[in-house]
Structure 1
Amino acid sequence: MEVYLVRHTETVCEKGICYGQSDVGICEPYDIVFESILNQLPQDAVLYSSPLQRCAILAKNIQKNTKIDSIIEDSRLMEMNFGDWELKSWDDIPQEVLNPWMADFVNVRVPNGESFVDLNERVVDFLENEIPKEIEKPLIIVAHAGVIRSVLCKINNLPLQEAFKAPLDYGTVIKVEI
């Protein structure tokens, strides 16, 4: 099955802000970026999206400009929950709290948030229990960098520690076969 993994476009957050599951908007104008994304996608597909507005806005645009009937929003596709760090500058997070997480982001939970393992468990649950086994249309999944990296680790059988080795820019479309 063809799957198109689409990362949301650039957010309104300043560089260096940790925004995980905070529901931040996207930079405007976004028409040109959205058009570029649309040109890489099939006209008819099953469309899933994170419910966070930075993904939902893009998903609605994809639906409006294709033959796709509906958007299935799923909270398992939300970005990592950064708990106490949400909307803080990375520079303002105390080093004694940040360093252990930086040394092992896969297993160490953010205070009152998630680890990458937690995010991965959500994403794997989505992949294994939400996507119909016999589906004739391609899938489009509009999500976040952490979610897309988790999907790529799962389908490529990569350890989670390798999830951040490749760049994943805003508005990137990755076509994979599952």
Structure 2
Amino acid sequence: MEIYLIRHTTPAIESGICYGFSDIDVADTFETEAAAVKAKLPEGDFDVYSSPLLRCHKLATTLFGDKVITDERLKEMNFGAWEMLAWEAIGKEELQTWADDFVQAKVPQGESYEELYLRTMAVVEEIIEKGNNAVLVTHGGVIRSILAHATNTPLVDSFDLKVQYGRISQLQVENGDIKVIFYNS
């Protein structure tokens, strides 16, 4: 069984802004980036899952038409009270408290990285149980958490796994074991 993870294309937001659950549109480069993703996709029949957020769903439907299944659990991390704030506008103490233990510490009115990981892996386990080849069009945090699981990387070290916009990662599942074939292609 193969699972392809596709990160959405460049979002239409200036750098330095905290966003996760916010429904951001894609940048003007979308058509070019989507064509580059499409050129790398393998042939075959896939179940296609997407975050419902516009930056993912737009790419998923552009690539796969109306066969896309949306799943709330594939959303990016919920940054709660910090959503759409400039990172520098977030209180330094509050930000440092979270940064010191971002895996377990919850963002105010949001979630922890561990909570994102748990909801993400619940989706992945359901997909593996179905046994069909699948594509997930989702976000950097979601993909990073799946790659961390597949490579036995502790969540605290998972940000060393760089996941770029509009890139594909391939996983192979055999007897319940997940192996990374490539990532960030």
Same fold? TM cut 0.5: yes
> 1:3 maps to which residue?
3
Alignment deviations for residues 145-171 of structure 1 (CA, whole Å, 9 cap, x no partner): 000011111222221111100221111
Report the AA paired with residue 173 of structure 1.
I
Alignment deviations for residues 127-155 of structure 1 (CA, whole Å, 9 cap, x no partner): 123443432xx211000000001111122
Alignment deviations for residues 34-59 of structure 1 (CA, whole Å, 9 cap, x no partner): 11101121233111100000000000
- How big is the alpha-carbon RMSD for the aligned residues of Structure 1 and Structure 2? 1.3
Residue 142 of structure 2 is aligned to residue 147 of structure 1: yes
Runs of 4+ in 1 over 3 A off after TM superposition: 130-133
> 1:103 maps to which residue?
100
Whole-angstrom CA distance in 2 between matches of 1:29 and 1:144: 18
Matched length:
172
Q: Find 1:94's aligned residue among 91, 94, 110.
A: 91
Matches within 5 A, 1:25-36: 25-36=25-36
TM-score for both structures, normalised by structure 2? 0.88
| Secondary structure, counterpart of 2:22 in structure 1 | coil
> 1:47 maps to which residue?
48
| Secondary structure, counterpart of 2:81 in structure 1 | helix
Whole-angstrom CA distance in 2 between matches of 1:127 and 1:27: 28
Report the AA paired with residue 168 of structure 2.
V
Whole-angstrom CA distance in 1 between matches of 2:171 and 2:102: 25
Normalized per residue, the structure richer in helix is 2
Identity of aligned residues (%): 41
C-alpha contact (below 8 Å) 2:61/2:68 kept by paired residues = yes
C-alpha contact (below 8 Å) 2:144/2:161 kept by paired residues = no
Residue 70 of structure 2 is aligned to residue 73 of structure 1: yes
Whole-angstrom CA distance in 1 between matches of 2:152 and 2:69: 26
TM-score for both structures, normalised by structure 1? 0.92
* Structure of greater relative contact order (alpha carbons < 8 Å, 6+ residues apart): 1
| Secondary structure, counterpart of 1:164 in structure 2 | helix
Whole-angstrom CA distance in 2 between matches of 1:170 and 1:19: 15
Whole-angstrom CA distance in 2 between matches of 1:134 and 1:34: 27
| CA displacement at 1:117 relative to structure 2 | 0.5
C-alpha contact (below 8 Å) 2:78/2:110 kept by paired residues = yes
| Secondary structure, counterpart of 1:163 in structure 2 | helix
